[in-house]
Structure formats: structure tokens, C-alpha cells
Amino acid sequence: MIERYTLPEMGALWSEKTRFQKWLDVELAVCEVHAEMGTIPRAAVAEIKARARFSVARINEIEKTTNHDVIAFTTNLAESIGDAARFVHYGLTSSDIVDTANALLLRDACDLLLAKVDALLPVLKRRALEFKGTPQVGRTHGIHAEPTSFGLTFALWYDEMRRDRERLLRAREAVAVGKISGAVGAFALLDPAVEEKVCARLGLKPAPVSTQIIQRDSYAEYLSTLAIVASSLEKFALQVRHWQRTEVREAQERFSKGQKGSSAMPHKRNPIISERICGMARVVRANSVVGLENVALWHERDISHSSAERVVLPDSSIALDYMLHKTTSLIDGLVVYPERMLENLNATRGLIFSGQLLLVLTQKGVARETAYEWAQRNAMKVWDEEKDFQTLVKADPDISAHLSREEIERVFSLDTYLRNVGAIFDRVFG
């Protein structure tokens, strides 16, 4: 991922230095287990642990000749360890190291993402409670529908992020799996107990069965989970973009002092963070397809997945980390205009109360089809002739024969539409 969208902690996790350190962590764990089981001398392990060093630059230099990064890594280790290096990588294949180290990287990435989700959730809750009683027109198909609570939007997002958090926890469980089972996963040169003990040391589960690699359905689950979370964030950001439209202007991104919206139009305040979140969601979703493509490999393994994973695993992790950070800032600083919401709510001259009128008429004994026809004929006059809906309803002889003026006026009350908001909040927040 480019530096522009990389936050320090997640960026450091996916650096070459950290990747090679995780490889070393796995190699050392294997050596320690072998020593415990008597396979290699304990003195050799002590020497390996004391002297093992690596240099990213040196590994990359060696790889120019070997054209194999793990061999370049072990060669560089041997340069610092000396004679005891013959016990490094004992009985292993490259994927034993790479895939087990990947489990550590992906597990740690999940922890960083979960921390970002945990920072977003209280912000969503605070804004939900802040605007619990703020009326706003609800929209379906982009058209005014019925009144709702602005706070319900944030409650909805809070509930969705809770589900996303559970998804990340499941993904963390899925990827935190190691394998130390050799070239085709059959433990030809290793005791299965080595795998169990190494994974226990590293805080991983051993794969019940593997080939030369950890099966890539777990990586696909990780990438798909990140794509779902990114899609949630895009959903939130897309709504902010709608609110910030000039014709709507119910809420907008915080516009800081000195910020510029356009190189040509000084008046512009554009929803740039929301648009950035939407754009980056496309990248994370696209990367999830790569994860799915990597599930099917030839026989016990091929290497077609490897090059793609070097891109999509860090890029998706880094991108979503950034998106979560920006979404938290976006929602926290969102500027809200309740007065404008009321203006928009009233913009259709009472049409949004047509559903309540229909219901009240049916309660008075009018057939639903007939009540619908009476309400709609007046509603169409509001659309076409820009008249006031309540005035037309009061003047309609069929409707006024069943409803008094006071009953009609009660139809046009917001209280009916917001009366159960508290019950919904109790469901969400407990």
C-alpha cells in the first residue's frame, strides 16, 4: 500500500523487517522444540539464539542469486550463526516458515483492526444518543418516504459494526493456524508433535491436515471479511456524501481552517474523506477476489498464490486500518444541521404523512383500496400543482366525512413516527 494511506503501526507490521523477524521467530521455535525432544543439541540452539541476526538488505542481495527468498534468509542467518546453522530449518520446507509466520502477521493485523473497530463503536453510540430525538425525513429509492430519527442511522451503523467485529474475531481464529509438516504435509521428516509444540509456543493452532501449505480458504475468509467491513464503511461514507449534497445539506464533513475544496472554485466544500473511503473499499473488495482465486492450487501446492498474496494481504490490511481510522474521525467530527433536516422534512408539503392517513382511514372502516385512492389523488395534486397536502385532505369530502379536522391534524404529527425510537435504542444498546 502506498505511504499516503499507511498508518505507522500497521505499516510496520507488514514491513520486510517484521516479516523476516516472524520467520526467525518460527525458526527459533522449531529449534527449541527439536532440542526439547532431543533431535538437535541444546548447545546448538543456545548458539543459534545468541547469534542469529538478519539484514533485509543482505537477504535481498542474496536473493538476486538464489531467486528464492527463504533460502536467502537462511543463508543470511548462517552467516551470523556459524556451524550451528546446520540445525536451522531442520526438516522443514519453506512454507512451514512462511505460512506459520503469515499466521502471526494476520493474527496481529486482526488485533490492530479490532482495536480500530473498538475506537469507532463508542463514537457511533455517542452520535446515536446525541441525535436520538432529531427528526429527519427517511428516504427510499432516493425519494422522501416517512419521518425517522437521525440518531437511528448511527444506531444502525453501530449494530453493523458489532457484527463486523464478530466477523473479524472469526477471521482471526481462522488464520491463526500454523503448519510444520514438511514438503507435502505428511510429516515424512518430522514428528507431528513438533508441529503441535511449535504452534503452542507461538500461540497458534496446528492445522489438522495440510499439504505443503496452509489451505487458502482461511486466507480467503480473512480477505472476504475485510471486504465486508470495508463495504460497511463505504455504506456509512456514501450516506455522508448524500447528506453533504448542496440540495440536501443535512450534515457534512468537518471543514478545517485553511482547507481548500477546489483549485478553481473557492466556495467548494467537498466530501473528500467520504469519497476516499468509498474508493478504497473498491480496492479491498477487489483484493478479496484474489483470495478466492488462490483457494484452488495444483496438487499439494503451486506458487501462483504467493505473488498475489504479497500484494493483497498487506494492502487490504493497511487499507482497512486506514479506512477505520478515517471513518472514526469522520463520524466524530460530522457537522449536523437539524434545522435543515426539518426544512427538508417539510419540503413535500406534508406528503410524508400519507401512510398515516391511509392507516387512520382504514381504522375508521374505509376499505384499504378506497382509502389509498383518496390519499393518492390528493398526493398527486401536491406533486403536480405544489399544493399543501393537509389543506387538500381537509377539503376532501370523502375524507372529511370520516375524519374530523382534529383527527386529520393528528395524522400530521411527528410523534407517531418517532414513538418507538426508544424501544429500538434499547434493543441496540441494552
Separation between Cα atoms, residue 175 and residue 367, nearest integer Å:
59
In whole angstroms, give the CA distance from residue 67 to residue 55: 17
pTM of the predicted model, to two decimals?
Answer: 0.94
Give pLDDT, residue 98: 98
The SS3 assignment for 413 reads: coil
Please say if the pLDDT value at position 267 is more than 90: no
CA distance 375 to 387: 14
Question: Which pLDDT belongs to residue 258?
Answer: 81
225/195 Cα distance (integer angstroms):
28
**Rounded alpha-carbon distances, angstroms, from residue 379 to 13, 382, 406, 415:** 59, 5, 20, 21
Say how many C-beta atoms besides its own lie within 10 A of residue 355's C-beta: 15
pLDDT band at residue 200 under the 50/70/90 scheme: very high
Instruction: Calculate mean pLDDT across residues 12-21.
Output: 98
Query: Taking 90 as the threshold, does the pLDDT of residue 259 lie above it?
Result: no
| Each residue's pLDDT tens digit, 27-67 | 999 999 999 999 999 999 999 999 999 999 999 999 999 99
Task: Give residue 302's pLDDT.
Answer: 93
291: closest CA among 174, 184, 117?
Answer: 174
Residue 265 in this model has a pLDDT that exceeds 90:
no
Predicted local distance difference test score (pLDDT) of residue 1: 81
d(CA 120, CA 320): 13
Q: Would you say residue 255 has pLDDT above 90?
A: no
Among candidate residues 141, 256, 263, 267, the one labeled active-site is 141
Give pLDDT, residue 263: 77
Query: What average pLDDT score do residues 257-262 get?
Result: 81
Q: Is 421 helix (H, G, I), strand (E, B) or coil?
A: helix
pLDDT in tens, 280-313: 999 999 999 999 999 999 999 999 999 999 999 9
Q: Average pLDDT, whole number, for the chain?
A: 96
The helix (run of H) or strand (run of E) holding residue 138 is strand 135-140
In 303-367, which residue ranges form alpha helices assigned H by DSSP?
304-332, 338-345, 354-363
Beta-ladder partners of 136: 148
Tell whether the model's pLDDT for residue 332 goes beyond 80.
Answer: yes
Taking only the tens place, the pLDDT of each residue in 74-83 is 999 999 999 9
Give me the pLDDT at residue 322, please: 98
pLDDT of residue 234: 98
Annotation says 262 is catalytic: yes
Q: Is the pLDDT of residue 262 over 80?
A: no
Do residues 18 and 336 make contact, with C-beta atoms less than 8 angstroms apart? no
Longest Cα separation, the chain: 102
Whether residue 391 is predicted with pLDDT greater than 80 in this model: the reply is yes
Amino acid 55: pLDDT: 98
Please return the burial class of 231, using the count of CB atoms within 10 Å of its CB with bins 0-12, 13-18 and 19+: middle
- What confidence score (pLDDT) does residue 324 get? 98
Going by pLDDT thresholds of 50, 70 and 90, the confidence category of residue 191 is: very high
- Give residue 269's pLDDT: 87
Name the catalytic one among 15, 68, 262, 304.
262
Q: Where are the alpha helices (DSSP H) in 207-335?
A: 217-244, 272-293, 304-332
Mean pLDDT along residues 11-18: 98
Share of residues in the chain with pLDDT > 70 (%)? 100
Q: Mind listing the pLDDT tens digit for each residue in 397-412?
A: 999 999 999 999 999 9
Contacts of residue 316, defined as CB under 8 A and 6 or more positions apart, other chains included, come to 223, 226, 227, 283, 284, 287, 288
